Structure 1
Amino acid sequence: MLLNSNVCARIRETLPRHRKLFKILWFGSSNGRVYVEFSGKIGTYESGIRFLGHPFTYNALFSSWTSKFNPNPKLFLENGELGFKESKVLSFSGTSFDDIGEGYVIKGALGSKESDVLSFSGTSFGGDGKSCRDIYNASSCRFDDVHEFEVSQNGMDCTEDDFKVLDSFCKSGKRVNREENVGIYGRIEGVEEEMRHPLVKETCRLIERQSAWNPKLDIELRRLLRSMKPQQVCAVLRYQSDERVALKFFYWADQQWRYRHDPIVYYVLLQLLGRTKLCQGAKRILKLMACRRIPRRPEDFGCVMVAFSRAGHLRKAMQILTVMQRAGTEPDLSICNTAIYVLVKGNKIEKALRFLKRMQLVGITPNVVTYNCLIRGYCDVHRIEDALELIAEMPYNGCYPDKVSYHTMIAFFCKQKQIDKVRELVAKMSKDSNLLPDQVTYNTIIHMLSKHGHADEALGFLREAEERGFGVDKVGYSAVVDSFCKEGRIDNTKELVNEMIVKGCPPDVVTYTAVLSGFCLAGRIDQAKTLLQHMYKHGCKPNTVTYTVLLNGLCQSGRSAEAQEIMNMCEEWWWKPNAITFSVVMHGYRREGKLSEACDVAREMIETGFLPSPVEINLIIRSLCQEGRADEAKKFMVECLKKGCSVNVVNFTTVIHGFCQNNELDAALSVLDDMYLINKHPDAVTYTTLIDGLGKQGRMEEAIDLANKMLHRGLLPTAVTYRTVIHRFSQQCRVDDLLKLLEKMLSRQGCKTAYNQVIEKLCGLGYPDEAYKLLGKVLRTASRVDANTCHVLIESYLKEGNPLSSYKVACRMFNRNLIPDLKLCDKVRDRLMQGGRVEEADKLMLQFVERGHKLPQHQRA
């Protein structure tokens, strides 16, 4: 099948100046493959691929017609022939970089002896695996604009979370690819030594200035990157306090021309991400390692598992085992321990025990780390007897408990304030396991007791440690001091601090900060300020935490203005406020009702480089809206958004609610439109707030349209949505419109009590006849909830003086085998008798007798 002439004409127009030298010979297909031939030579140029010196726009040439033949075409060029094939040589139209490093070797067609990989529009180019997109746009790639690559999800969408991966364990003891990674461990250990290198420090300094980024800094950072060794790049990653910045730097560096990450960089980055909740970033790095043919160790899969576990995705964490199995990586003891740790952190202790048994069946012998994880799991679920039994069984399994095993249980007993059990465990350590309690043991006991508010018991163990010759350091004393301060026992705190000075263990800034916090909690702010001056006199310089504690005490006492004055004088006292310091003063003003001052502090906080969180922004917005200043709240939110703060849908919903409270519905709808413009998708709460506001103003048609729009966008109505819709439509007695809307909502998200709520609301608003029409929908289920709804309708008719309708409701209940309340029906009978309806009154009571109920005494007489 030949392509039409229009396609040929479009391709010829792309090369107007070299038609004679570079000529399209023919198009065609054979055996399901599409072919295209050119005549002429193909050359390359510095900044990208050019044909005979003329830039060749690949996407414009091919993207319009390649999709007709193959959704993911592969272009090949070999021996003068250019066409499509299932290979990984020449490709275009956005092919993924997953194909790096597996291209054809093209001989004789490019005017060179040998060329590795050639590709178009974001595919691989050159032997180093760099892409054409990366090479052509290297000068325009900015660190502050870089985003994570969207790696294919294939291989990550596993549905099995069982332990079949252990079946691939090689019992012969052979380890795949373990020897070739021996050198990597030494290189990783040497990363710490590079932290002080001038290149590392300068690179980190430039990264910290990313908020004020400019092309000059970008060029300088690119120059530093080319000069750094792999260990130094790893040091830059470890230097970052925010792992998200480290991940951003990794991606930025990966896009630079003539640079490729060493495998050690991937290993170190995965270790960093394993300590965070950035599970998606860790998963992409693991996938990228597979694309770059970098060996993946079980430890690397373990880092991704831990990241998923920290993010609360237990199922996905366990699915990494299946991914590892499909990748051909043999499991070892480290990944098994990681799996048990993940299960324990997810409170799946029984599953962790089954995993342990499966390990032993395939020949993986657990070690003390394995048992310590299980002991921790037992303690977390308060199965302390099982933990003690496990410690007793460990020697019979060839693994003896260590101090971590005992310390875990000691921490549990300290939390429960079972001091006798703590002493028994300390004695058992030395008797059964020959583990003498040392300073670490006592420090663990002291810190755990202090942490959980048992200061006297902690002080007792501190004295015991000193009697045994263990020197308790400032950290142990500070823990006890902090516990005394939290209990408000300032006198005991002073005695202990004086004791520290006498024993030659002068308190440090942590100890003084704990004492200062105790003064603030007790409301003794002036003494706290005096203590601050005392610190300077004794050569102990207060730090940012110390000043933040003092400012928090001032704000809690209603002295936010004084706190701000101290913060403004920070340069004179040689300290620097952090984000928490600004937040303390900001919310101090907010609690005092000085919202303008709170907004000013928030602006100063942003200018300093600290961005308030969405929760902090929402607190100020809500306070402004509560005072009827929704316009100012919107202005403040927009200002934060422009300054780079993370503003979420909750903030927008709060502003919308503020406008609705002020009956400014048009302004609220305008905020909804703004959300769509900046790609902040509203949720069900946002729509519910607007529906409530529109219904309050009687604009029911707009409320219906908005509810339909919410359902059309796939948002599920909540219980509050149902209550809001029912309340507002019932107020307007728009029962027909309400029922139509409820049918649509119930088809998306069920609500068993929806019609019950409608009937009860109509009765409460004085529309019992409208409610009676819906009684059939309620009596379909004949539950106790339905009986209560019928009682509400009966009482509503009685209030209106219509006992006959109440009688009809009671009869319908009997027909559905629902027994109405006898006392309530007795009232109905009396009203029927007063109205001359003796026959209906007798029938009502007769139905009770037929069903075996005893009538009241006055009726039997």
Structure 2
Amino acid sequence: MSTMLPIKHVTKHRLRSKLFISSILNPCSFHAACATLASSPSSPSTPSTSNSFLASQNDVAASFKTWFATRQLELDPLVHRIYEILAASGDNDDCSAALSYLSLPLSERFVLRVLRHGAACSEILPCLKFFDWAGRQPNFHHTRATFVAIFHILSGANLKSLVLDFLDAYRRRILHHRVRFHDILVVGYAIAGKPHSALQAFARMRFIGLDLDSFAYHVLLDSLVEKNYLNAFDIVVRQIRARGFENHLTNIIVIKHLCKERRLEEAEDFLNDLKCRGEELKGPEVSFLVGALCESSRFERAVELVKQFGSSGLVPLDHAYGVWVRSLVQGGRVDEALEFFSQKKDFEGYCPTTIRYNVLLYRLLRENRLGQVYDLLVDMNESCIPPNEVTMNAVLCFFCKAGMTNVAWELYNSSFEFGLSLNHMASKYLILTLCWDGGVMEAYNVLRSLVDKSYFPDLRTFCTLASALCRECKIDEMKELMYLAVGRNILPPASIYNKFISALCQAGRVEDGYLVHGELKTVAARSSYVKMIKGCVKMGRGDIAARLLVEMKGNGHKLTHPLCSAVICTLLEMDNSRGRFFNLLEMLTRYENSAWTYNFFLRAAKHARKAELGREVFELMHRNGVRPNLSSRILMLQCYLNRGRISDALNFFNDVKRQGLARTKIYNALAVGLCKANRVDISCEFFFSMFSVGLNPSLECYELVVQKLCSLRRYHEAIHIISANEKMGRPISSFIGNVLLHHSLISPELYYTCVNLRGVEEGVFYGNSTLSLLIGAFSGCLQVSRNIADLERLIEKCFPPDIYTYNLLLKELCKSDMDKARLLFARMCHKGCEPNWWTYDIMVRGFSNHGKKNEAKRWLEEMCEKGFYRFNRRNQ
């Protein structure tokens, strides 16, 4: 056998794993590939090695299809046509007519042939349809053999309830049967795992003088062992022996019974007695005892037993070897199982069946030992052992776990060619892998195709698929998935409901999200509430948003100012806005009657520019015994200022000041608000009055006052404020520095003002006059180095440059030298400044103005790729 592929190559390097997997069916290429890759196991994959050695995923899938084709049953055209009709016909009448048209030679042998084919391909429903159709044909009556066949098929598919329903209906019929009526009942109940009912039917038989034959007795006896009917077991064994029906099946069932009772010594004595009497042993007798010893953790005794009977040569031990391997695997001793498997195969010529390989494959898959899974698959192919349906499912799981999703998907799409029906494990891993690999719709389609075959995923797989569908906003598919779950009495977790609600809101279907929210039995997640509320606000449904806001508060979730303000502002745009406004205020204060709650409504009144409404809320606080806090007073002041009611704002401020409650934040709010209302003189008056009462204005206050003064060309006062700011030890902010640079580019007046204020002669600068030097350079009044790097360093001495600063520099450079502009753009990006719309617009215009149309077009395309468009409004 070839050297095992290191596990890292299977699990970590997707391309390399393709090479090894595709070579399973080509041992020569496999050995060559192993030798080549083994020579440099740690070297990274390069394009040259990829081209030389790596097979495409299509080749991998094709090689496995070739291997899968070796297990195909011999094609029976007539039986194949029957199953085509059974699969295609939805209506019973159409199906019956199509089958009758074939003029089938109905007989026990032919019916069993059809049923065996269906069982081999797991075509359970078509088997049942054919059995029912055959039983209604005038020239054919089902025999015990056909009944037993369909019972085994249904029981094997965990459809024993159908067997029981059939037997109950069969027992109530008063018809003349051409088969042994009571035999069918006994055997049917036994196969369906109902030995009590089987014994009752057997008792009725004996009462009317009828008896079972050898086959029925043994089916009944095995059923009694399975369900631990000990007393009845002893009686039936005596009946079998008394009638001369005892054979090797009896011995096997007796040993099985003793093993289930953990009477292992008796079982061993019984087995030795059979050997001494020269009884024919088939192998399962030893297998049951070996398995029972392993289950009791008596592995050493099990080994001795296998060796003892193996050396006698009287017992075919293939089955016992298989049970030994399976028992080791179930006991968690996988390495011992692999060693035993290899030894018996290499030194005793033991030829394991596909089933034995499958036991090892699935255990190794569960332990993620993918390298050894691969080795076993190679061994199966080299030993010419065709895969069965279980093996093919294991291969599908292997590719999913190895990350080769495309190969797994290709094999799944070709599953009909090989009669492959996915089991639960393969279905789970295929769905999970597709979800993780971005194939959400493919994963959903896999599930949808398997639902008709009674498959539904476990909770983890369901949640993974549901989360992926929500993430991709596949709303219709998600609705159907939830419907399928609820229809099977599966309650999705609250987290999935929350994700579904979020997806509905994201898709603009807020009302559907609200309906789903109504079905949720547990408290919805805060994120679900937020998304539903934002969706309602966007749709203008403030009434629903308000209802959700109250429910959110009632469920203990924290409300935020932006969210509440958005809801309240939406209510103010609806009819009966005042009534809705105060109704929401009343409901929220029931949960928390504090200034925090009232501030939500003061903030909303400020944004809506409804000063009177804000005043009513403020007065209501006093009436309800709630003391306004600092934020409440600031919000009330801003309500007046935003509405332009300056006198009311000043009166309110004076009232607060008389109460001794005027703090820095109130002064800042008043100064900033007056600036925004274009009352700069009054704003400056309050700005400077702060210093007289020992308060220090905020940076925002400084910046806004300076900006307004500069916009009115009152540079003298602006420089005076900047100087005061510097004397307090505050550096010049980027905002103020940019305002000064912007006005320097407009006019030299700012520079002259700066020179006069600092008492410095024009053209002469001292160390403390760097800002004057910078302003003079930008206004063109001074001849300084025009090197951009020098200007950058000069700016950095005055204030930290930001994107606005670089945009100003770019704008100036683009007038003369686009090459230098391009270099500045690259340096700006290197320093971490993210280009904005204005940056790209400057570059596009610069190249256009210099006649470089192609370069301008390239920059325009890059601009659009970044999500900026030239008709966007500049945000400076």
Q: Which one has the bigger strand percentage?
A: 1
Which TM-score applies when normalising by structure 2?
Answer: 0.40
Q: Max radius of gyration: which structure?
A: 2
TM-score with structure 1 setting the length: 0.40
